[in-house]
Amino acid sequence: MSRTRALALAGVLVTWAVVAHANKALELINPVLLPTPGQVAAVLADTVRDGSLVRHVATSLGRVAVGFGVAAASALALGILAAMCAPLRLVMEPIIEFVRPIPPLAFLPLFLVWFGLGEASKVAFIGYTTFFPMFVAIASAVLRVDVTLLRAAASLGARRLDLIGRVIVPAALPGIVVALRLGFALALFVIVGAEFMGADAGLGHLIMEGRTFFLPAQIVMGALVLGLLGSLVNALLLAAERRVFRGREAAATS
């Protein structure tokens, strides 16, 4: 991390500490409402020690992995299919344009009604939320594949399946990877909302528990852990992306 970034983050931490401690000393608002960094760290240490944090993180990530995994696989298959098959695209387009502006959270209660309070509703909700943006991004990445690449491959004897595996997927890979990365970020985003309702574990549940038992420090701790997870996963995916595309820099443009 560069020094400026470290300084900026340290600045935020110091400001928070100063404000929280000043409030505690002056009692401007109830100090319980504004936890100090130390109090948040103490809650973090407690939950790490008794193993509950690991359980919550594992639960949330497990749901994200399954929901995102299923959505990514179907978005990939249907995105390629839709890009290659104009009639299917014509059918899908109005449906997607209709569904897209509806905030996914509006459907969360429906998922709870359909799939109950257990894992299925969370996983299905993540799948539903992440599918459409990934599908749209993957289909458009495939549509951008240069048609002369397909012609070149066909003239070398490629049939339809060869074209998908050996030309379309590698040619659209940069766009596909970006779509998957965005989908994953979105999954982390909405899992919290899904876990607010009818969950007995997960980071969303941990945060909601903080509200129920009036523990603002726990709420802040949960949010910070989510932020850390998000940046960690993003960094990992970016590193993977760079590894995959090493040697084919500017491949998409040449």
The residue (of 168 and 190) whose beta carbon lies closer to another protein is 168
Nearest CA among 55, 46, 32 for reference residue 205:
55
| End-to-end Cα spacing for the chain | 32
Contact between 152 and another protein (CB under 8 A)? yes
Contacting another protein (CB under 8 A), which of 155, 212, 213, 243?
155
Measure Cα distances from 154 to 77, 157, 168 in Å: 21, 5, 12
Contact 69, 131 (CB under 8 A): no
Which residue's structure tokens are 């109090």?
Answer: 39
Contact 58, 65 (CB under 8 A): no
Contact between 153 and another protein (CB under 8 A)? yes
Record the tokens describing residue 143, joined without a space: 């549509």
The residue (of 3 and 246) whose beta carbon lies closer to another protein is 246
The residue (of 17 and 156) whose beta carbon lies closer to another protein is 156
What residues from 117 to 146 belong to the interface with another protein (CB under 8 A)?
Answer: 146
Record the tokens describing residue 51, joined without a space: 């193993």
Size of the site for another protein (CB under 8 A): 24
Contacting another protein (CB under 8 A), which of 64, 124, 171, 215?
171
The residue (of 149 and 237) whose beta carbon lies closer to another protein is 149
Q: Which residues bind to another protein, rule: CB under 8 A?
A: 146, 148-149, 151-158, 162, 166-167, 170-171, 173, 247-252, 254
